[in-house]
Structure 1
């Protein structure tokens, strides 16, 4: 068979093919299920974001509470100094534990995130040690709040990075 006859034969077979082809079954049901599954997955991924956001707001409220004028009279303002740092730390640990539990089944995108979390915890401990010397230092309190916020962001980003969110 020559090239010219081959092309003629090929063109003839192409002309005989139907112009439209319909699927063997209804595809909309599968498309609908895929869209629904994707929407459900998006909803479950957003839960840790809200939890982390709530934790950050709580820390900000506590820091705002700490920024108000401090009275030296313990009966007027009983939560000052080390008791305030202790309350802030306990609240942070509770919220961090809740966030980690909510993300327990979610795979992390990096291997060394726990090392980074440990470094942030060490930084928080150093700030707490400095706060023992100067318990009402607002700059140190802000630094502690910033380190706590960085911990939440690290945990959130490692388990739900922006490139995975829709």
Structure 2
């Protein structure tokens, strides 16, 4: 899949000026990651361009249990805008040690992956093909994982 777009430099309706692109980095919260995978908020980052084009930035996944093989739902990203495109959101990823992993993103943004690691320190680099996400961004959380408590609420709960 390729992302094609056009953005003119026509002045905005109010206030004049040029239309600007935006990029926002999002961290994968613990409830969007399989419980057997390491969670590193400083590392597991993806970018959203102009609020709905999703690109991988620095997402690296490694198992906690040291399992050699993973298969199934591993991660949740924003749900794609275009649904039911056969093979549209699939591809091959590589681990740091060069092992292939296959992925597919479903209509809810769930990333299913399968592959085998070379060693317990090997990690797959999640560099998915860019895609257009539904607005507002929608996610499917893992049912057995809790969402992180926002910093303000965590401080007031003490």
Fold agreement, TM-score > 0.5: no
Q: Which is richer in helix?
A: 1
The structure showing larger relative contact order (alpha-carbon pairs under 8 Å, at least 6 residues apart) is: 1
* Structure with max Cα Rg: 1
Q: Which is richer in strand?
A: 2
TM-score under structure 2 normalisation? 0.29
TM-score under structure 1 normalisation? 0.28
